[in-house]
Each structure stands twice: as structure tokens, then as C-alpha cells.
Structure 1
Amino acid sequence: MVLNVLIVEDSKTSTQLLIHVIESDPDLKVAYAAKNGEEALAWLQTNFCDVITMDIHMPGQDGFEVTRQIMKNKPIPIIIISSAYSEKHVELSFKAMSAGALAILEKPVSLKDSSYTEKADLIVQTIKMVAGIKLIKRRFNTQNQLQDDDLLKKLPKKDLAIEAIAIGASLGGPPAIASILSELTECPVPIFVVQHISSGFTEGFIQWLKSNLSLPIVIPRNLEKAKPGVVYIPGDHFDIELIKNGIITTEFSNHKGPKPSVNKLFYSMASCYGEKSIGVILTGMGDDGAKGLLEMKKKGAYTIAQDEESSILFGMAQEAIFLKAVTEVLPLNSIGRKIKYLLERSKNALSREL
């Protein structure tokens, strides 16, 4: 079945390039190209498409406002395709994700762009992936939030002396990560976050998180010692791992597959912190992180997977569950509170160690 795509883009050059990228795949067809948000909203009143690609900076209503209206009135999977060179545009792109957009991808500059093939392939792959998401409206419904008594039913037989938390996510991850971190104010341990993200968007992701959270969030330096209460996110093109005594190492991502690597982070957490850690795998496509989370669980860590109902795409978490790498499966809006309970219990274990 051919998937119909609506392009919302004010630049004629970028529009023609996106049409070329999308229609290079026989399974995709551009149903319409709107030159601004108002034209896109008018077209959607009488027409249908499977996926929308949305520019973020346009005359009149910007991509955030158009995304907000579409997701409120006629939910359709939206991919933000933006330029990474403008910090303002990047931050606005992540704001659009909080309004319902599913992914942010970098806009190809031209057919001569050295990374054109990589960017074009990712656009096509993501369009096909999000087109299969049929339950977009659930984002606006009340999630199945567990009560405190339910969250307390499943706790470790012994209090774990937690020293670090690791979180991995892909498609739909930024709002999920923000949701969890918003519960962890004054966190007594370092938090390591890996979000699959296009090159050039990491700094904007961090700035967007900072605008919504009180926790300090930084890109770590190589061989920096992790500090309690700080969120560490790897920079563009780099993976993040932990070695003895909580020392952070950063290494250029030269591996195939999604970047940065969730598996590398989780494997290093298992080795460095073992049972004194919490691992969390969230919404996202593929299986990155599943094997690493299994290693964490084998070493005694408490491992959590986001449930299918609250996930935008139940891929990474599903694979972790299949591998029996998960201690507990929870809806997104219960994960942060569960971590807080585990950290509270951790105080008892830490006091006994002193």
C-alpha cells in the first residue's frame, strides 16, 4: 500500500528536494505540498494523508503551532524536518515534540550534500515507521497511572544502594525523558541519558530540557567523574560509557545502527555499578539497549521498561521484555515515581554501608 505524505515547507527548493527524497521510494507518494501552516490546515479539512513532514520556521504560524492544532483536532503522525544550524529552530522543534510530533530529522541541504544519502534514507525509514502508529490520540487521553500502593507492591527483596540511573530511548523519547526527569528533582545520584538523535540536534535537546526542568544537564567531558544530581547526555557523534569509580568516557560513534548507543551505556553500567543501578528503556524503534539492559539485570540492577500503551513505538522496550531483561513494566507516568521510591529505599541501604 502506498503511503500519502503531506509536506509543509515554505522553501520551494527544500520542497522539491523533499519530494525527490520521498518519491524515490515506490511505497511513498507526496499527496500535497503546502507552503505554510495555514494552507496545510485548510487542505486537511477535506483531505487525508498518512504522515506529515513539517518545517519549523515558516511565515505566519510556525511548525509548533501548526503541530499543536493538528494533534488537537485531527491527529496524524508528524515528523519535524528542520535545519540544525539555528539553535532557535532546534529548540522550537523539540517544543513541537511536546505538542505531539514524533521525531525530528535534519533537512538535506542538496543532492550534493555529503550526508544526503544518510539523511534521505532516514527520512524515508522514519515516514514508514510512524505511518504504522495508529493510536496517536492516546497521547491526549489519561494514561493508566498506577497508585502509590501498586508501585510499592513490587520492590527488591533487599534495599539497593543505588548509585546511578541510566535511561535509553529512541522515537518519541524526548517527551518521555522529560516526564521522568521532572519527577527526579534533587536526585542524589547521577543520571545518564541516551536518546537516538540526528546530528546537530543534541544541544537543542539539552536546552529544551533545561527550559522545562530544574536539574543540571550537561554534555560530559572525557574522563570526567560523574556527580550526584547531574544529568549527562552525550554530545553529537559520541557514545557515553562508565568505567571504574563512576568515570565517564566518551568515544566517537563509529558503529552501525542508531546513535548514540544505548547498549554501550547499559553494558558499562552493568560493569561499573552492577546492582547499585537502575536501568530504564523507553519508547523507540529497533532493539538497541535490550541486551545491555539484560546484562544490567544479570548483575542485580533494577530494570524498568515503558509499557506498550504509553509508548509511541513499542520496539526497544518490547525486545527487552522478550529477553527477560526487565524487572518491571510500567506506564510512563509511573516510572519517575517508582525511581523515587527506589531511591528513598536506597537511603536505608547506604546508611547501613557507612
Structure 2
Amino acid sequence: MNPINVMVVDDSAVVRKVVGEMLAAAPGIQLLHAVADPLLALERMKRQWPDVIVLDVEMPRMDGITFLKKIMAERPTPVVICSTLTEKGAETTMAAMAAGAVAVITKPKLGLKEFLSESAQELVAAVRAAAQVNTRRLTVRPASQLPLQPVAKLTADAILPPASETRALPQTTERVVAIGTSTGGTLALEEVLTALPRVTPGIVIVQHMPEKFTAAFADRLNKLCQVEVREARHNDRVLPGRALIAPGGKHMLLRRDGAQYCVDVIDGPLVNRHRPSVDVLFRSVAKHAGANALGIIMTGMGDDGAAGLLEMRKAGARTVAQDEESCVVYGMPKEAVKRGGVEKSVPLKGIDREILAQLTIR
């Protein structure tokens, strides 16, 4: 296979050096250039266009958002945002995601070199995922040299036991929709949630995203949607007309409280190398909602959610996957289909109808 050609655009010399070294050290990845600003990047791109761009958002001469919109208009290209872990950085990054970026890697203001070296695996994984993006679905809206050690891939067993090990709860008429997504999910969720009317079943969502960024993401969606969208807090009620997004860096689980549903927001190890994990959410929904639930798995890299969706289906829930044609990355839905957890696949534009159909099920 041809190597993934990557360009790094960041005004920090430390970032360019460390990120450039760790990408160059990764098998199957080739560093084309590491430049200090978008104008230099545009000059280099005239000679050879990269497969993936790792981009800072706050830079001199031309900011990252302007640069991103320019290349998406000219030639849609997978972009991984490398942003500071601050509230301001989160807001700017949400603008970048809305402009077509597919993933975000965080960086601190202090201890930058050490942090980037420790995050080598996450960065390399993000670049590999970006390289598999279906560029037709990218739309614009108005290191070290040390070998990378794989992180142990835990299952949802690390957080809670399977549904078969717990007693079934009494019946309730409350309906729940559980959604899991990753790469490409920010724009996909925006399309689904903005299409929903104010009256919908309660929705719980895991979108793979770092801490701080989920709050900015939820706030942005809340301003665009008729339904209430917010970052979940421990003990939040799952209510009709409300969508709760799992906080970055925390797992979110559904639980029953009498005839009502609530969420637990907890710490815990990475599951499927993610926190929050879709499998953790889906398993909790299988245990506590069963046939009262709809599970939806959408665009994303990897297999997080595939096992949990199968558990939901076995518990009597309806299950839906976003179809391949409309996915930015057909990874998570593909794995769920392969394992038998998907009742049917539908285009992105049809997912809102599947959610509303839950209102008529009794």
C-alpha cells in the first residue's frame, strides 16, 4: 500500500518537530512537510497535495479555520485538528469541525513536548482514521522514535457486567434512543438532531471527543436544534425532547430509577481504547431499557459499539446503522453489521425518521 502522506501546519516549532518525528516513525506514514503557517502550506501543496493534514487553529498570517475552508472548497482533504485544551480552543475547534475537520487531538499549553510524546499512539491512530475518510462526504457548512506500544483493548466488562447477569426491571412506557459515533460524527449528529422536532424520545449519545470539547459541541448543537442538547451530568434525567452527550474523558451509562431513566457519568478505564465508549453506553441500555430502546451506530473508525449493539438487539431493542454511502468512515457500522447487531441500515437523512418512529411504538 502507498504510504499516507501527511502535512503538519503549526506555528509551534516544538509541535512541528515532535509531531513530525512521531509521524515519520510510524509504519505506513510519510511526513511530507511541517510548516509554520497556512500560507507556507499552500505553497508546498502546489507541488504535492497531502493525504491528511494535521492543523493548528490559532496561527499568524492566516488562521486555521480560514485555511480549512479554503482547502475544503478547493479539494476536500481529511484534516485532524491539533488544538489547545482550553475553553477558547474548544470553541474554535467546534468551528473547525463544522467546516469539515474529521478529528481533534488536544495539546496543553505547558509540558507540550512530553504530552505529545505520550499521545503518539492517539495521534497516529487519528491520522490513520483520517486517511480512510470518504472525501465525498466532507462538506463545508456556512515523538519520539520509540516504538508505539499498543494500549490494552478492554471490553465493556471493565465497567459493567453483561445484561444476562442482572435481573430484568419492571415494564415502563418510556422510550430511549442511544447513538454512538466517532470520526465524521460531529456533522452527522448535527444533521440528525437539527432535523428532529421538539417532541422526541429521550436521546443519549456517545461521540468520541476529548474532554472540554464535548461541552462546546453540545452548546453549539443546542443553539441549532429544537430539542435540548447538553453535556450530560451525573444523575441527569433522560427526558423526551432532550439529548444528552457523554462528557469527554468519562463513561456514560443508562440506568432505571423507578419508571424513569437517568444517566450515570463515571470514571473508568478506556474501553475499546475510548472513554467515553459506545459499548459501555449500549450495554447499559440493553440492561436497563431492553425493548424500550433504539440503538443507532453511525460513522466512525474502529469497532466500538458493535458488541454493545448486538447486546441491545438480543435484549429486544430495535437497531439501526448508518449506511456505507452516507458515512465519512464506514468502520463502526460495518463491524456492527458483520456481528449481526444491525436490524437495518439507513442513509443519514433517514435516521431522524427512525428516531421519531419510537414515539409510535407501544
TM more than 0.5:
yes
C-alpha separation in 2, matches of 1:178 and 1:253: 28
Please report how far the alpha carbon of residue 140 of structure 1 lies from its aligned counterpart in structure 2 after TM superposition.
Answer: 4.8
| TM alignment of 1:148-167, pairs within 5 A | 163-167=175-179
Please report how far the alpha carbon of residue 60 of structure 1 lies from its aligned counterpart in structure 2 after TM superposition.
Answer: 3.4
C-alpha separation in 1, matches of 2:85 and 2:274: 18
TM-score w.r.t. length of structure 1: 0.84
| TM alignment of 1:108-127, pairs within 5 A | 110=111, 113=114, 115-127=115-127
CA RMSD of aligned residues (A): 2.3
Matched letter for residue 305 of structure 2: G
Matched letter for residue 238 of structure 1: K
Please report how far the alpha carbon of residue 137 of structure 1 lies from its aligned counterpart in structure 2 after TM superposition.
Answer: 2.6
C-alpha separation in 1, matches of 2:61 and 2:74: 19
C-alpha separation in 2, matches of 1:228 and 1:140: 30
Please report how far the alpha carbon of residue 176 of structure 1 lies from its aligned counterpart in structure 2 after TM superposition.
Answer: 0.9
| Contact kept? 1:278, 1:302, Cα under 8 Å | yes
Please report how far the alpha carbon of residue 57 of structure 1 lies from its aligned counterpart in structure 2 after TM superposition.
Answer: 1.0
Task: Give the corresponding residue for 2:19.
Answer: 18
C-alpha separation in 2, matches of 1:231 and 1:206: 9
C-alpha separation in 2, matches of 1:124 and 1:139: 21
C-alpha separation in 2, matches of 1:325 and 1:178: 24
| Contact kept? 1:162, 1:343, Cα under 8 Å | no
Q: 2:360 pairs with 328, 333, 345, which one?
A: 345
Q: 1:177–1:44: structure 2 CA closer, same or farther, 3 Å change rule?
A: same
Task: Give the corresponding residue for 2:230.
Answer: 218
Q: Identity of paired residues, percent? A: 33
Q: 1:38–1:112: structure 2 CA closer, same or farther, 3 Å change rule?
A: closer
| TM alignment of 1:83-98, pairs within 5 A | 83-85=84-86, 87-98=87-98
Q: 2:243 pairs with 225, 231, 249, which one?
A: 231
Deviation string, structure 1 residues 276-296 (Cα, Å, up to 9, x no partner): 111100011111111111121
Task: Give the corresponding residue for 1:137.
Answer: 136
Please report how far the alpha carbon of residue 330 of structure 1 lies from its aligned counterpart in structure 2 after TM superposition.
Answer: 0.8
Task: Give the corresponding residue for 1:29.
Answer: 30
| Contact kept? 2:179, 2:298, Cα under 8 Å | yes
| Contact kept? 2:10, 2:37, Cα under 8 Å | yes
Deviation string, structure 1 residues 279-329 (Cα, Å, up to 9, x no partner): 100011111111111121122222110111111111111111112211210
Q: 2:330 pairs with 314, 317, 328, which one?
A: 314
Structure 1, unmatched stretches of 5+, are 142-159, 350-354
Say if 2:334 is the partner of 1:335: no
Say if 2:280 is the partner of 1:264: yes
C-alpha separation in 2, matches of 1:189 and 1:79: 33
Would you identify which runs of 4 or more consecutive aligned residues in structure 1 move more than 3 Å? 108-113, 115-118, 138-141
TM-score w.r.t. length of structure 2: 0.83
Say if 2:62 is the partner of 1:61: yes
Say if 2:45 is the partner of 1:44: yes
Task: Give the corresponding residue for 2:264.
Answer: 249
Deviation string, structure 1 residues 132-188 (Cα, Å, up to 9, x no partner): 33x3034459xxxxxxxxxxxxxxxxxx96611110011111111111111223133
Structure 2, unmatched stretches of 5+, are 141-171
Q: 1:162–1:315: structure 2 CA closer, same or farther, 3 Å change rule?
A: farther
Q: 1:219–1:46: structure 2 CA closer, same or farther, 3 Å change rule?
A: same
Would you say how many aligned residue pairs link Structure 1 and Structure 2? 325
Please report how far the alpha carbon of residue 54 of structure 1 lies from its aligned counterpart in structure 2 after TM superposition.
Answer: 0.8
